A and B are shown apart, each in its own frame.
Chain A
Amino acid sequence: MKKRNLKVKTVGRSLFHKTGTLALGVTILSILIYLNIFSHLNGENLIKQGPGGLPPQISLFQDLLYTPQVSQYLIETDEWASGWGDSEIRSQLDRDDILLLKNTPLITQQIGKTYSFRPEIGLQDYNEFTLNEAPEGMSVQDGEITWIPDENQVGENNIALRLSDSDGLEYEAVYSVIVTEEFFPLGTNRRGQSLSGLIVAGSKWTIVPGLIAASIAIFIGGFMGAVSAYHKDQLDSVLSYIADTTESVPALIIVFLIAAATQFNVYYIMIGVGIVLLPSVQNIIRSNTLQFVENQFVESSSEIGFKDRIILWREIIWYNCKSDLISLATYCFAFSILIEVTISYLGLGVQIPDISWGVLLAEGRSSLLREEYWMTVFPALAITASILGFIFLGAGLKQKFDPKLK
């Protein structure tokens, strides 16, 4: 029994390692590339405009992320005011005293789509509820409210449900539904821009900046590391010294300096990120190369007759260090995304009206106080998924290309 379980576990684990991480990474990367191209082609039209502060229109998300305002009133007839106009006295009820509606209604709907709500009344022995105030076309049937909003009803629509309990007391629950022309699956930000469009637009900062930083770090850093390990003379000490110095400066300081000097040009900042990442790449490649240079097969390669250049670049780097370079490259991408988000959040990177996920996080910060979670949650998820995607991609590719793990 024990034997078999062990075998299944190890086989399962290795299968996942081999295919799972790589598949995940490739999927996320393809989604990012697709979004990049999509946003490039569509430009500004991407972002639909709507009412500000709209919660996500996908009901699942709205349920999770938003608690709508439902006002509750106790209705008493004013005996003294009959005939003089409004004979109703409304006193607002606290949610702690009584809960008229146990479930929460959706508060947005698109025109042409059916709005339905089956209220769960929080009173014992109640009569059927009626609609005291409702938009045109709304009807109640068997305790369910249905309505198909049309284009004339775009905007705020009040709905008041009138209930009475067995004691004869009358209550009213009031809320409003916002009708929109467009569909906003993830809601809108304060300025009414569709969050889904914003996220797609922001994706353009995930690939190109990473490419700049990774190219600098990998090609220059890798070259420096390989050369200094192979030739191991004065050059090595000089290059190592440079690497140590660069490494000792905190990354964000370099980034802030470049941000200030170039008036927040993210592409120049990414060159800085590349320089920041360079020492790590240099050191890793250098130690890997050193490992192999000490190895006798390097001398046996010269014995065969291979030229020095070929031995370094083909035999050592390409055949043996490929996997490390690939995983370092994907790490550079992930790191660049993180830096971009950080500086944009701080206002030192992408500037409004240009969009990036960091900017969205910054804007969404104040909305958190109003419980408008979606403006922060969705960009944050996108950022996490992208970074993880690159990390998985790196892990998966490293497995695939490392000859010793085969």
Chain B
Amino acid sequence: MRFTVAFARAVATPASGWCSACVDVLDVSGAGITMMSGGQTGPLCVSSKRMANLEDLQFTMGEGPCRDAYASGRPVHAPRFDAGIFARWPAFVEQARDSGIGGVFAYPMSSNGAKIGVLTLYQDLEGELTSGQHQDSRVMAGVLAETMLSMQDNAPLGVLADGLQDAVAYRAEIHQASGMVSIQLQVPVAEALVRIRAHAFASGIPVGAVAAEIVARRLRLSDDRQELAEGV
């Protein structure tokens, strides 16, 4: 009952508030919701800046619980960052530890086999979720997926529903920067994105911040293929 009431409140709020609602309802330290479309991803919301950086890192590095949960279609549990988990996601684990995260749990958001995205839950302390939390998280991921599909059902074809615009808005600068870099370096947009990610990784700056610099014309990526070779 507690879950139902809290959930009703969660979906009644704009999508940007879903993660805070997940934190309350599921009793975890942090949450992030990411929409996936092939290789393209966009966080719809995060419960705090820490989670924003961690979701961002998974996008930059192409590794982490989010991607694994999406690819396998099954929940991914990392109640503590042991050697096995570290070997799987070295960069993610390093930053997660630095941010004071003890464990992470990712749930694929799907409806009747249609994969929409991933709900990632972060815990400050190490340890498994209770079976109740686990059950509720699975239900929450499914209901959020259905809610997103229903929102999109009411939008004109080809136009992202108003409530889901945040998934792109957050990344808008990254996509704009990709377009700019593709002109600067005369490379396809997809390659431009790889160059931006490589630069972010090499300089230890979040990919969003690099993109913001490019869009503000304070940064131009040099046409140096070396960077790509070293970076990724």
A and B part of one assembly: no
What residues make up the interface of B, taking CB atoms closer than 8 Å to A? none
What residues make up the interface of A, taking CB atoms closer than 8 Å to B? none
